[in-house]
Amino acid sequence: KAGVTQTPRYLIKTRGQQVTLSCSPISGHRSVSWYQQTPGQGLQFLFEYFSETQRNKGNFPGRFSGRQFSNSRSEMNVSTLELGDSALYLCASSLGQGAHDEQFFGPGTRLTVL
Report how far residue 85's alpha carbon sits from residue 89's, in angstroms, rounded to the nearest whole number: 10
91 counts as binding other proteins under rule CB under 8 A = no
* Of the candidate residues 21, 90, 111, 113, the single one contacting other proteins (CB under 8 A): 90
CB 14 within 8 A of CB 85: no
5 counts as binding other proteins under rule CB under 8 A = no
Among the listed ranges 7-15, 63-71, 75-83, 90-98, the one in contact with other proteins (CB under 8 A) is 90-98
Question: Among residues 34, 11, 15, 12, which one has the least CA distance to residue 23?
Answer: 34
Q: Please, which of residues 32-71 interact with other proteins by CB under 8 A?
A: 33, 35, 42-45, 48, 50, 55-56, 58
Report how far residue 47's alpha carbon sits from residue 26's, in angstroms, rounded to the nearest whole number: 18
